[in-house]
Structures are given as structure tokens and as C-alpha cells.
Amino acid sequence: MSSMRGIDTPVRQTRRRVFKEVANLAYTSTNLKDDMEALPYAIVDSDEMDCLNTVYRDRAIIRERIRLAMGMSLRPENRERPGHLTEGIEESNIDEKYYEPPLMQVIPSACNACPENHYEVTNTCMGCTAHPCREVCPVGAMTMVNGKSFIDQEKCIKCGKCKAICPYDAISHKERPCKAACGVNAIKSDKYGRAVIDNETCVSCGQCMVSCPFGAIADKSQIFQLIRAMQSGRTIIAQVAPAFVGQFGPKVTPDMFKTALKELGFADVYETAIGADEGCIAEAEHYVKEVASGKQAFALTSCCPSWSVMAKNLFPETIDKISNELTPMVATARIIKQEHPDASVVFIGPCASKKLEASRRTVRSDVDFVITFEELTGMFEAKGILLEEIKAMDEMMDATALGRGYGVAGGVASAIEECIKTYYPGTAVHIEHAEGLDECKKMLLLAKAGRKNGCLIEGMACPGGCVAGAGTNIAIPQAQKEVAKFKNDAIKKIPEQ
């Protein structure tokens, strides 16, 4: 499927504008209700629009986006009066708030009700004499009408054989982009044909959100509450996932980024890769003692919450194979809290599902806030901080090359392999990695069937790894290059035992 990632589309500009304005409310508003009510009018200006209908609809959509960006839920559509934009604002105007599922939500008024799975003949059909499309159709759904091929939708079984055989590429397969991007089949339809997310199945990876060309899917944010916490005078310390490099402009070095975060009001900045270093050593030991020895059939990594939640949901028999090590986010948070017992910890990363990981009962006391690179950009913009003009006053040099490599698909498995080779020489290591939930599912099926015994299996929900997370700013290949460079720049190459 083609990807819009890294392109500055109007959908993305709107998301960014909403984050910036919500951050701005937190920084400057003296009358929150009124200022929040005024926002949709500021963002969607009727003078710039040709059609009034579009203005009303766009404002309605922006209202729901603002609610989600403030950590609130969508207003129910089915009530006669959906309630005010600011309804429930008291519960969000606070300096501590956990994400409450559902995290990913479809804004019904924004959904285009795209066809889910539909083949149709386009006007490039030449009406050729051979009409192979008709010959390969197994159900006789293909006829000629006015000299062109025509598909009877009642008969069509969506096998795609006609599309594959057409010499003119004249048959189009229309598919709902959010559904195509969802590896766990969580996108369903309501009675109007609009997309609905099945919250029981959804693993909050956010790939549907970044694939919707109408911007109809959005997630909740904590930027408003984070700013309130920063204003409260508490010590707030940031930890940044290794995928941050390059996300804030090609000229912004890791050292500049660290200084910019301090300028924004963070007391200190740690690399999440420190927690990855710790986990890497522990997982190497686990593999050698449990898997290589034959006590355990295979081992699954646990860094990606969407992957581990999917494994638990769809393959419950793998639960005991998922690593018990703390994820890098939690391990780093615990290191920070040991050193600064009174501080609150913010994880800044590329990932949507980390928002729910931080809300788990067992993690709540470790990680207080989770925001994405995209949301952080809104905070920088609201504060008028131009990162490219920052003079670096700090150094980012906490982690090893292996820990930094966790940001890219395959990085976790290869880091553990490197540790095993160094500290347990002579141990045979079998590594597998899967990226994208479809591939992850196939990998778990093979493991369940006994085809991956003796393997260490890394799963990443986003194709490309964390650099492809739903909260990133730049194109995936560019991000992969940046992480590789950041990894090479690490002074220490491998964590110590």
C-alpha cells in the first residue's frame, strides 16, 4: 500500500495546528471555556472557504479533534443535543490524567464511508477482443456493456483475478485505507458504512490514523495536562525514544534537541535507550539460559506494546514466551525515579500504544505522561521555540549503540544477538523479526505450529519499527538513516554486563 508518511498534507497540517492551539490554551488562556469555544472559528475561517456547508462540517470535526487533543472523549452523535464542546472540561483541566481507552477514535462526521472492498472497471477499458477479464472470472460476474467490460457486483466474489489479468490495468480495486492498514482487522462499519474501531480487537498502533486520507481517525493527547504539570512547579523529566533523531528538522542535532527540551521547561532529559541497554543484557541471559538450553521453545520480545497485546489476544498460549523484562520506557522511568524520587516522568516517543502502556496499573507510578514527537512539535510551536536556531548547551550521550538501535525494525533482536555473541561466545543464536501486524501474525502462527523453536522473535507493529510510529514527523527511510547515524555516533557500542 502506498504511504502518505512524511508528506505535509492538509490533514497533517490540521493535526499540528490543533496540537499547537491546545498547547497555546494551556500556556496562555485566562478563560479556558471561552477560549476553547473560539478555537474552531480561529482554525476554520469562513472567509477562506467557498462553501458554508464545508465550514460547518470542518468546524464540527475540529471541535472533536480539540476534545481528543485535550484528553477528552468524542461527544456521542446519537444524542439530540451532543453537548457543548467544553462539556467535561473540568476533568481535563488538571495536571495529571491517564489515558482512558479507547485511544483511537473515528470522528464520524469526518469519515468518507469508503468502500471496504470493491472492484470496478474504469474508463481506461479498451473493450479488447480477447477480454481475458471475462474468461478468468470464476463466477461469470464479468459481461460486456456498450463495448466495455462491466462487473455485476451482486455476483462478484472479490477474487481480483480480473484486475490481475487486464492488459490495460483498467480494473481498480477500491479498498478502505484504514482497514487495509489494520493488521488485526479491528476496522468495522456502522449502518451508514462509516468506519468504526472494534475496541476489543484494536491494539492502538495508530496505523489506521496515519493512513486515513480524510483525517477521520484521531487519538487522545496529554499535552494540555503535561503543560499544567510543568506550570505547577513540579520537577518534570523527559526521556526520549531513540527514533527522535531527525524528527525536528535536518539541522537539529541530538544535543540541540536536548537543550530545546530544557528551554521548554523540562528539568532534565534522558535517552530511553538506557533502558534498552539494560533490557538487552537481561534478554541475552534469558535466551541463553531458557531457549538455547531447550527449556523454553522460543522467546518473544516485549518492547512494542501493540505486538505483545496482539500476541496475548490472538495467541494466548504465547503469554509465557513474552519477555518479562521491563520495556525500555519503563526501565528508563525507574532509573529516573531512583535518581529523582520527586520527579514526574514524560516519555516522548513515536508511538501511540505507549500511551496505553503507561496507563497500566503496574506502570502508572513510573511513567506519568506520554506524548509523541508530533504533539511535542505543537508545544514547541506554541512557545515559539525555533529548534534550528537553538545553541546546543547539552550533550546527549547516555546510551550505547545497541540501545539506540531499538528504534528501527530488527534493532532489538540484533542488539540481543550482539550481547549473546559477546558475553556467551559459542552460543548458537536464531533470530527472527516481523514488522507490521500482518507479518507479526504470520510469525506467531509459525511459532505456534512449532516452526520457530529455538528462536528469539522480535515483533514490531509498525512496518519499519518505531521510526514508523503514528506520532512521527518525517518519512520512514529518512528516519531509518538518522537512527543509523545516531547509533554509529554512540561512544559505547555495547552495554556492560
DSSP class per residue in 146-185: TTEEEE-TTT-----HHHHH-TT--EEEEE-HHHHH-TT-
Q: Of 366, 71, 27, 35, give the one whose Cα is nearest residue 230.
A: 27
Q: What is the pLDDT of residue 2?
A: 60
Which residue(s) pair with 175 in the sheet? Answer: 117
What sign for the dihedral angle of Cα 399, 467, 409, 444?
A: positive
Is residue 341 within 8 Å of residue 234, measured between CB atoms?
no
Q: What is the pLDDT of residue 85?
A: 87
The CA-atom distances, in angstroms, between 100 and each of 103, 182, 303, 357 are 7, 21, 21, 11
Across the range 3-13, mean pLDDT stands at 91
Phi and psi at residue 150, to the nearest 5°: -145, 135
Which residue(s) pair with 460 in the sheet? Answer: 435
CB count, 10 Å around CB of 389? 10
For residue 428, what is its C-alpha cell? Answer: 548458537
Q: What is the mean pLDDT of the chain?
A: 94
Q: What is the pLDDT of residue 158?
A: 96
For residue 179, what is its C-alpha cell? Answer: 482497514
- Counts of helices then strands in the chain (DSSP H, E): 18, 15
Q: Comparing 9-23, 157-171, 355-369, which segment has the lowest mean pLDDT?
A: 355-369
Amino acid at 411: G
The answer to whether residue 391 scores a pLDDT higher than 70 is yes
Is residue 373 within 8 Å of residue 6, measured between CB atoms?
no
Q: What is the pLDDT of residue 49?
A: 58
Please give the angle made by the CA atoms of 469, 419 and 287, to the nearest 5 degrees: 85
CB count, 10 Å around CB of 21? 23
- Strand (E) positions, 142-298? 142-145, 148-151, 171-175, 187-189, 195-197, 217-219, 236-240, 268-271
- Each residue's pLDDT tens digit, 404-446: 999 999 999 999 999 999 999 999 999 999 999 999 999 999 9
pLDDT tier at 364 (50, 70, 90 boundaries)? confident
Q: What is the pLDDT of residue 82?
A: 58
Is residue 117 within 8 Å of residue 175, measured between CB atoms?
yes
For residue 84, what is its C-alpha cell? Answer: 457543548
Please give the angle made by the CA atoms of 289, 295 and 297, to the nearest 5 degrees: 110
The CA-atom distances, in angstroms, between 344 and each of 244, 340, 370, 478 are 20, 9, 11, 32
What sign for the dihedral angle of Cα 385, 388, 389, 395?
A: positive
d(CA 215, CA 9): 10
DSSP secondary structure letter of residue 326: P
Residues found in the chain? 497
pLDDT tier at 139 (50, 70, 90 boundaries)? very high
Angle between helices 10-28 and 32-43 (to 10 degrees): 160
pLDDT tier at 80 (50, 70, 90 boundaries)? low
What is the SS3 assignment for 459? strand
Angle between helices 223-231 and 10-28 (to 10 degrees): 30
For residue 3, what is its C-alpha cell? Answer: 504511504
Domain with CATH 3.30.70.20 in the chain: 117-175
DSSP secondary structure letter of residue 337: H
Amino acid at 480: Q
Q: What is the pLDDT of residue 77?
A: 66
d(CA 227, CA 374): 15
How would you write 368-387 as a 3-class SS string? CEEEEHHHHHHHHHHHCCCH
Across the range 273-285, mean pLDDT stands at 96
Across the range 69-92, mean pLDDT stands at 78
CATH class of 117-175: alpha beta
pLDDT tier at 79 (50, 70, 90 boundaries)? low
d(CA 470, CA 220): 12
Q: What is the pLDDT of residue 39?
A: 96
* H/E segment holding residue 307: helix 305-314
Amino acid at 364: R
The CA-atom distances, in angstroms, between 394 and each of 337, 397, 471, 489 are 21, 9, 25, 16
Across the range 37-42, mean pLDDT stands at 95
